[in-house]
Structure 1
């Protein structure tokens, strides 16, 4: 690996979280179930996280180390070599609805003309309940403009996150997806949800899992470097399943939403590194996945970091305090 590429990877790793003080670190078993494909619009990268003791962990999305070098961003879909004709289709009446709104935070829901799973998960904010949504967007006000920073697909439990665009950058792409909760395979990995509840005061999503147990995903910090999500579980979740998964796409190094993996294991003096398609799996205290060279697919999409696995509640990381300009209402700790 060239010194330039290694330097970019190290820069990405420096954005990773240190363990929260007072919380015992646990290792999660990370299994690589990725498969090679030619279609850039198929999530063929699959990394699952398993440890029945884990009840709390943290997810970060951070800008790629090369973001400041970009002259051109690309985010258009690439349907080359793609055949989606065999995918299930569930037809619905399309609509768009804003179902929670303040000057600093609002939620927008979409129902698409069709989706691969039924859209029967109720979404509640206060006394208002929406049915039939395929997508929930979380928007915030930043520097007097609207920024979409987090999305959830209730029918299959997929999430995407992105930080505030830095400086004068108007927009950055979404990239890798992730799952939170008991993961199972129904043609592709999913988390089956029974209900989604959002609490604006704490910026927390509460997820009732169809297969048992409950999860909370809290927007803990947000700025133009990263977005931080604190995840906690309660109740009787299935203990033999992964509690989280990363889903992404890789066709080749220059056509990928994630291309490399780095991980930290108990007692290790340094990070392990591998291309995502040959990553052997690991017992990881922390895992980073992203890119060290620009891709033609979702070029500005963030790197993803999973860590702070614990059976105890997480304490706020001192680096997670949001800047005043991120929103006029402070993010609750």
Structure 2
């Protein structure tokens, strides 16, 4: 009987030995797709939370954004003014030209031969002949002294050759051309209209450099404003940051909401700066149009277009992001759980 029971127990024990043992807790592997989706979800959540916090304190947020807007609007207004100034003078002949006033006793055939010789000169790009009659008519229209000039017995104006040099950047070469023309027998006087072009170019370059310098200075001011604002946000959320770090949150994880806050301050500041520019243009466009029409011009003031819109908002957002990154890099290291 005992022998039978022992034989019956052997298969059971053998089956027990063949049964696979439980390995306990199983470690789940997270794929790259899941990690990427989790990262995107957290960014969306943080962006929404940053916007909610921005509008939760409208007065403080508006004051900070307005300070950023004023700092950005000043160099942008200077740059826009330079662009409008260049548009205003674009209709003028910006190329230096040489005016050769011919001797009144010069014969027409000699003048034509002189003009043909100048046209064949490789240093001269264009030669325009203005007769005494055409010069008088142009002077009457420009001066409004037609009645006075009509009483003159003879035309006091000489014939003129207008020369446009090919190379306008070499002032020494232009001066040599002028000296050669002054030595010609048919020329009575030679004038190089270069001074006003040089002054205009220097004035424009001065304005551009001032605009660039002011933009750099005020961009630094925008960064400092955002740094101070984000520092206050960090101090107000110190306990929350300590709790997050206690449960294993990294500095990158803690930094993310503040980066989005700096992005919001910069973007809304850039939007307000564009609105300030647009308001200034609308305020000044009427008087400027009236002034230009009084001079017989149809010039209108150009406002900030899409390029200014995208540039101000994008640039301000980057400045806000940089300021927030600087603030968090400095102050988050000082907040560590003991």
TM-score when scaled to structure 2?
A: 0.18
**Structure 1 or 2: more strand by fraction:** 1
